[in-house]
Amino acid sequence: MSDVTVSKPKTTRSWAWLGIAPFILFAVMFLILPTMHIIIGAFKNQQGEVTLDNIRNLFQPSIMASYWISIKISVASAFFGCLIGFAIAASVTLGGLPKWIRAPLMTFSGVASNFAGVPLAFAFIATLGRLGLVTVLLKSWFGINIYAMGFNLLSFFGLTITYLFFQIPLMVLIVTPALDGLKKEWKEAAQILGASGFQYWRMVALPILWPTLLGTFALLFANAFGAVATAYALTGSSLSIVPILLFAQIRGDVLQDPHLGYALAFGMIVITGFANGIYIWMRTRAERWMK
């Protein structure tokens, strides 16, 4: 009995480190070191000297245009993803729709939020491509030729619509529990104190949901910004968004400057990191009232 009590704390401590070590090793080797390597590479030239030239070279019109279109698509798809996802989640939780709708909606959202990448591109080509179902139906039923009207799936607008297919469900998945967390008593307390429905949303519900909404927006932004497969399968490399440019660069050094590739990737990290930085900063401001 006595040797058990003596030896136990010691063995527990040594085991504890072992329990966490594989994780740390994994995170360092396959997440942190590769990322650090890219970041450091962005500040080095071919000879290994420290330089800002790579970063400076990012500011050429074609690369800037790539970043700009990427940011536009990401912001638009994150914004509308949040807005529409919120509307759908609110309809189901608070809008008085039949209760049975909820379970299938959540399951479907789980599926659709993971249905990204190449197959998603196929689905939209089959729907909104030149021979897609909706394109053809609109033409033959209503005489509307969306392609003649300037629509193109391989564009800012087309890509945003496609990305919304996984952005909206992701928002639904995250915001539904948050909407459930709004207590009925808060609304009633606000009402009985004289507040209108609008005032309740502006002064109570939205401030409470704000951290969740911000976080989801940042997540959706990063989600769209880093997405390669859908865009690549849709457009080949004809639409020059940053991840596709980087993809082509890694495959074939299209920029003819390996270290510019590092800088390109570094720029992506900076932008998603910046989005999340804003999120964390706003969240700490918005969350003073949380434990």
Partner 1 sequence: MAFLDLSNLQKFYGTNHVVKDFSIGIEKGEFISFLGPSGCGKTTTLRMVAGFEVPDQGAISIDGQDVVRLKPNQRNIGMVFQAYALFPNMTVAQNVGFGLKIAGKPKDQIAERVTEMLALVGLKDFGARYPFQLSGGQQQRVALARALAPSPQVLLLDEPLSALDAKIRVSLREEIRNIQRDLGITTIYVTHDQEEALSMSDRIVVMHDGIAEQIGEPFEIYNKPASRFVAEFVGTLNLIDATVEDSSTGRVKVAGQHLELGRSLEAVNGATVSLALRPETVRLGRIADGDQTLTGLVEEVSFLGSVVRIKVALGGNHIVLDTFNRTISKPPSIGDQIEVSFPSESVMI
Partner 2 sequence: MSKKIWSWLALVFGILYFGLPLLGTLEFSLKMRRGVYSLDAYAAVLNDPQFRATFSYSVIMALFTIVLGVIIVVPTAYWVQLKYRRLRPFIEFITLLPLVIPPIVVVFGYIRLYNTSSWLPLTGSAMGTNILLMFGYATLSLPYMYRAVDTGLRAIDVRTLTEAAESLGANWLTIMTRVIMPNVLVAILSGAFLTFAIVIGEFVMAALLNRPAFGPYLQIMGANRAYEPAALAVIAFAITWACMGLIQLVTRFQKFSRVAR
**Which residues bind to partner 1, rule: CB under 8 A?**
183, 185-186, 188-196, 199, 203-204, 207-208, 288-291
Q: Which does 177 bind (CB under 5 to 8 A by kind): partner 1, partner 2, none?
A: none
Please say which residue, 154 or 208, places its beta carbon nearer to partner 1: 208
Q: Min. distance of Cβ 151 from partner 2 in angstroms?
A: 15
Q: Which does 202 bind (CB under 5 to 8 A by kind): partner 1, partner 2, none?
A: none
DSSP three-state, residue 264: helix
Please say which residue, 26 or 68, places its beta carbon nearer to partner 2: 26
Q: Min. distance of Cβ 247 from partner 1 in angstroms?
A: 43
How far apart, in whole angstroms, are the C-alpha atoms of residue 244 and residue 98? Answer: 43
Q: Min. distance of Cβ 291 from partner 1 in angstroms?
A: 5
Q: Min. distance of Cβ 289 from partner 1 in angstroms?
A: 4
CA 106 to chain centre: 19
Question: Helices then strands (H, E): number in the chain?
Answer: 14, 0
Q: Which does 164 bind (CB under 5 to 8 A by kind): partner 1, partner 2, none?
A: partner 2
Q: Which does 130 bind (CB under 5 to 8 A by kind): partner 2, partner 1, none?
A: none
Q: Which does 38 bind (CB under 5 to 8 A by kind): partner 2, partner 1, none?
A: partner 2
Q: Min. distance of Cβ 24 from partner 2 in angstroms?
A: 8
Q: Min. distance of Cβ 94 from partner 2 in angstroms?
A: 8
C-alpha distance from residue 31 to each of 25, 26, 75, 125 (Å)? 10, 7, 26, 34
CA terminus-to-terminus distance, the chain = 43
Please say which residue, 17 or 289, places its beta carbon nearer to partner 1: 289
Element housing 216 (H / E): helix 206-225
DSSP character for 117? S
Q: Min. distance of Cβ 229 from partner 1 in angstroms?
A: 40
Please say which residue, 34 or 181, places its beta carbon nearer to partner 2: 34
Please say which residue, 173 or 190, places its beta carbon nearer to partner 1: 190
Q: Are 240 and 70 in contact (CB under 8 A)?
A: no
Classify each residue of 31-69 as buried b or exposed e, where b means 16 or more C-beta atoms within 10 Å of its C-beta. Answer: eeeeeeebeebbbeeeeeeeeeebbeebeeeebeebbeb
Please say which residue, 14 or 62, places its beta carbon nearer to partner 2: 14
Please say which residue, 253 or 287, places its beta carbon nearer to partner 1: 287
- Following DSSP, what letter does each residue of 143-188 receive, concatenated? ---TTTTT--SSSHHHHHHHHHHHHHHHHHHHHHHHHHTS-HHHHH
Backbone φ and ψ for 120, nearest 5 degrees, come out as -60, -40
Q: Which does 289 bind (CB under 5 to 8 A by kind): partner 1, partner 2, none?
A: partner 1
- The backbone region for 49, taken as left when phi is positive above 0, alpha when psi lies in -120 to 50, beta otherwise, is beta
Q: Which does 125 bind (CB under 5 to 8 A by kind): partner 2, partner 1, none?
A: partner 2
